[in-house]
């Protein structure tokens, strides 16, 4: 049996989504910007329907939605677009240590352009507080960017409290919601979010398409273009629209809205079954992230005295991740876990399990069996595990260098 438990990296396309997309590859292949004939009109109508479907999930208006090629582009447009447009009001941006690289790297780029970036530390569960944000806001702060749910550990940030604070202080608030859009309730007015990023392939839609919510009222958010040519998408993101992809994103969002309540509970039940199955059979395991304020499908678990890569090789029929998908080729320990205070050795032993819509109980039970077997086998070969079991304090051991 091959079991896929890496849904935070990407999801399979839902058959209903594929069915909605197919006509827009052949019968309705028009360019949505070609408004002089019926082929273009059909494409434009489909795009506008998808815009409404995406907007409905977050309590926004259709015209607030800008289509992108995915979350990385959406985050870049939001962060760099605000920075360029509001530079005369200030050059200070606030984010936090466990953001996705698609937020951290644009912020680093801004620093090279002369902006100041404050990176807030997180607590042992990976959370920041509204009080931390309040303390960090200065007179020249123009943007706060805090994700909703973390891609590696699932920890949820208090975006509602942070958003309300930003409104009081007159600072724009951006949130990367890739792991929570369509999975957990988010209302942009209730949370005070001004810019929100999401991606199709995280919600059983196609890869290569995403959306950026840009608030048009109270306040009207203005973004400088970071890609020029044609003025598509309110001049925020030029380029011929990916109509089949956008149709797929819209249908995927619609399905998520229909299933949100029941699906979250279904995922949480499977996640808890997986987590309990592992922790009840193995000692020296740690669940990373917040125990309750966490995305319903994610369990990031550290297995002491086991190297994560070796463990994955020992159960190659189970698709899991040893870090975020974007950085899993790196041998560096996860910067997200290090920000929580997890040591290098334990960070190297961490595996991210993320269940999805089509995951079955049988698959979860099979994965638990394979994980337990792989860990026990590797620990049998580990002298460190044996010493720890005998009560030796490994930190006090003086190792011979020869």
Residue 63 has pLDDT above 80, yes or no: yes
Least confident window among 50-54, 93-97, 237-241? 237-241
Q: Is residue 121 part of a domain?
A: yes
Q: What is the CATH number of the domain that holds 338?
A: 3.90.1150.10
According to the model, what pLDDT value does residue 382 have?
Answer: 78
pLDDT on residue 398: 60
Contact partners, residue 201, CB within 8 Å, separation at least 6: 10, 11, 70, 207, 208, 209
Question: pLDDT band at residue 263, thresholds of 50, 70 and 90?
Answer: very high
Cβ atoms within 10 Å, residue 70: 22
Could you tell me if 180 and 44 lie in one domain? yes
- The Cα–Cα gap between 58 and 186 comes to 5
Query: Domain containing 110 — which CATH number?
Result: 3.40.640.10
Tell me: do 147 and 82 sit in the same domain. yes
Question: Residue 333 has what pLDDT?
Answer: 84
User: What percent of the chain has pLDDT above 70?
Assistant: 95
**What digits encode the pLDDT tens for the residues 211-262?**
999 999 999 999 999 888 988 998 899 999 999 999 999 999 999 999 998 9
CB 280 within 8 A of CB 60: no
pLDDT of residue 322: 84
**Residues 246, 254 contacting (CB under 8 angstroms):** no
Question: In terms of domains, do 240 and 289 share one?
Answer: no
Residue 101 resides in a domain: yes
Tell me if 2 is assigned to some domain.
no
Q: Does 323 have pLDDT greater than 80? A: no
Mean pLDDT score across all residues of the chain: 94
Whether residues 252 and 296 share a domain: the answer is no
Instruction: Judge whether 297 and 267 are in contact, CB under 8 Å.
Output: yes
Q: pLDDT tens digits, residue range 7-47?
A: 999 999 999 999 999 999 999 999 999 989 999 999 999 99
Whether residues 211 and 320 fall in one domain: no
Per-residue pLDDT reduced to its tens digit, 162-185 = 999 999 999 999 999 999 999 999
Which pLDDT belongs to residue 344? 87
Whether 219 is in a domain gets the answer yes
Residue 4 inside a domain? The answer is: no
What pLDDT is recorded for position 389? 74
pLDDT of residue 325: 46
Phi, psi angles (nearest 5°) of residue 45 = -60, -40
Give me the number of domains the chain comprises.
2
User: Which of the listed residues 234, 256, 278 is the one where a domain comes to its end?
Assistant: 256
Whether residue 245 sits in one domain with residue 269: no
Top pLDDT among 152 and 393 is at: 152
Residues 157 and 50 in one domain: yes
pLDDT in the model for residue 396: 60
Asked if residue 23 is part of any domain, the answer here is: yes
Regarding whether 104 and 170 lie in a shared domain, the answer is yes
Residues 207 and 142 in one domain: yes
Q: Which of 174, 205, 191, 202 is nearest to 76 (CA)?
A: 174
> Given 209, 232, 256, which residue is the final one in a domain?
256
Q: What pTM, to 2 d.p., does this model score?
A: 0.94
Are both 53 and 112 inside the same structural domain?
yes
In a domain, 83, yes or no: yes
181 and 293 in a common domain: no
Q: What is the pLDDT of residue 395?
A: 63
d(CA 176, CA 212): 9
Angle subtended by helix axes 243-279 and 38-57, to nearest 10:
30
Domain that holds residue 73: 15-256
**105 assigned to some structural domain:** yes
User: Catalytic residue positions?
Assistant: 326
Tell me which of 256, 279, 296 is where a domain ends.
256
Same domain assignment for residues 330 and 367: yes
């Amino acid at each position: 049996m091959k079991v896929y438990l890496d849904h935070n990296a990407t999801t399979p396309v839902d058959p209903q989504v594929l069915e909605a997309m197919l006509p827009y590859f052949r019968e309705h292949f028009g360019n949505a910007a070609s408004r002089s004939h019926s082929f273009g009109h059909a494409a434009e109508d489909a795009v506008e329907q998808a815009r409404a479907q995406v907007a409905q999930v977050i309590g926004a208006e259709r015209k607030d939605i800008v289509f992108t090629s995915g979350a990385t582009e959406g985050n870049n447009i939001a962060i760099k677009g605000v920075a360029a447009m509001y530079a005369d009001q200030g050059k200070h941006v606030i984010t936090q240590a466990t953001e996705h690289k698609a937020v951290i790297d644009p912020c680093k780029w801004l620093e090279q352009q002369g902006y100041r970036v404050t990176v807030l530390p997180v607590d042992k569960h990976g959370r920041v507080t509204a009080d931390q944000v309040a303390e960090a806001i200065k007179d020249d702060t123009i943007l706060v960017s805090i994700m909703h749910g973390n891609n590696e550990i699932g920890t949820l940030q208090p975006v509602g409290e942070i958003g309300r604070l930003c409104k009081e202080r007159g600072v724009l608030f951006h949130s990367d919601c890739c792991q929570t859009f369509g999975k957990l309730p988010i209302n942009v007015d209730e949370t005070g979010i001004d810019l929100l990023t999401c991606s199709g392939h995280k919600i059983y839609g196609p890869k290569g398409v995403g959306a950026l919510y840009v608030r048009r009222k109270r306040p009207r958010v203005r973004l400088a273009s970071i890609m020029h040519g044609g003025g598509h998408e309110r001049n925020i993101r030029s380029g011929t629209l990916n109509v089949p992809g956008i149709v797929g994103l819209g249908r995927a969002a619609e399905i998520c809205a229909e299933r949100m309540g029941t699906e979250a509970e279904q995922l949480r039940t499977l996640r808890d079954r997986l987590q309990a199955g592992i922790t009840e059979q193995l000692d020296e395991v740690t669940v990373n992230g917040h125990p309750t304020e966490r995305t319903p499908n994610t369990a990031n678990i550290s297995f002491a005295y086991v190297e994560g890569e070796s463990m994955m090789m020992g159960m190659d029929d189970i698709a899991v991740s040893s870090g975020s998908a974007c950085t899993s080729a790196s041998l560096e320990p996860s910067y997200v876990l290090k920000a929580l205070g997890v040591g290098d050795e334990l960070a190297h032993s961490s595996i991210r399990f993320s269940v999805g819509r089509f995951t079955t109980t049988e698959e979860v039970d099979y994965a638990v069996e394979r994980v337990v077997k792989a860990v026990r086998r590797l620990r049998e070969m580990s002298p460190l595990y044996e010493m720890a079991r005998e009560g030796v304090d490994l930190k006090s051991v003086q190792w011979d260098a020869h």
